[in-house]
Amino acid sequence: MLRCLIPTVLAFCAAFLLFFTQPVLALGGTLPTLDQPAPAFTLPTNTGEGDISLTDYKGQWVVAYFYPADFTPGCTLEARRFQEDLPKYMDRNTQVLGISADDIQSHSEFCDSEGLKFPLLADTDGSVSKAYGSWLGIRSVRHTFVIDPEGVIRSEFTGVNPALHSKEVLETLDRLQNA
């Protein structure tokens, strides 16, 4: 009887180890590893500052949120919530950066339309979205990463509800900053 169970137990243990030692996958690809340096990026922005790099914010917290497209209902709601809470992010020494495959012209029109005062970055070829496991074909997937002042990813969000997301990110920032 015991000999019959040994292959089953070994197979279970092998499957368990294989599952828990693989990179984390989400809709959009392989996510970067928590508590490791965030993938570097430099992208054009709508703010008139030319390009923005992650390294521009060394010493600050960064909320890098990926979203599918300007002017869509969920993305508009998510952006509005980040804008409403922008003073709270500033109080926490945190820069909000929106990233999508839309170009800077679309981002400019979106910011003007919605009164957004934080940069939107144009990842038109999807290279940054891919590096963050947030790319699905031709669009970014709705993911968010909280990056600490040293450039290390401290939290990620993959199941984002645009209506509640900014509040969830603020709660996470409070927890991380007070740890």
- Domain ranges, ordered by start, for the chain: 24-177
- Residue 75 catalytic? yes
Q: What mean pLDDT do residues 17-26 have?
A: 42
* Mean pLDDT rounded to a whole number for the chain: 88
| Per-residue confidence (pLDDT) for residue 42, from 0 to 100 | 97
Scanning 21-131, the segments in alpha helix (DSSP H) are 73-84, 86-91, 104-114, 127-131
Angle between the N-to-C axes of helices 104-114 and 73-84, in degrees from 0 to 180, rounded to the nearest 10: 60
Domain 24-177: which CATH class?
alpha beta
- Token pair 């800077």: residue: 104
- Rounded alpha-carbon distances, angstroms, from residue 161 to 35, 60, 67, 154, 168: 24, 25, 12, 20, 9
**pLDDT of 5 over the 70 cut:** no
What does the alpha-carbon distance between residue 45 and residue 49 come to, in Å, rounded to a whole number? 7
Catalytic option among 4, 13, 75, 111: 75
Q: What is the pLDDT of residues 131-152, one digit of tens each?
A: 999 999 899 999 999 999 999 9
Q: What is the pLDDT of residues 30-80, one digit of tens each?
A: 899 999 999 999 999 987 778 999 999 999 999 999 999 999 999 999 999
Scanning the chain, the segments in alpha helix (DSSP H) are 2-20, 73-84, 86-91, 104-114, 127-131, 165-177
**pLDDT of 8 over the 70 cut:** no
Percent of the chain at pLDDT > 70 equals 84
Helix (H, G, I), strand (E, B) or coil at 163: coil
| Per-residue confidence (pLDDT) for residue 29, from 0 to 100 | 76
Q: What mean pLDDT do residues 9-18 have?
A: 41
**pLDDT of 2 over the 50 cut:** no
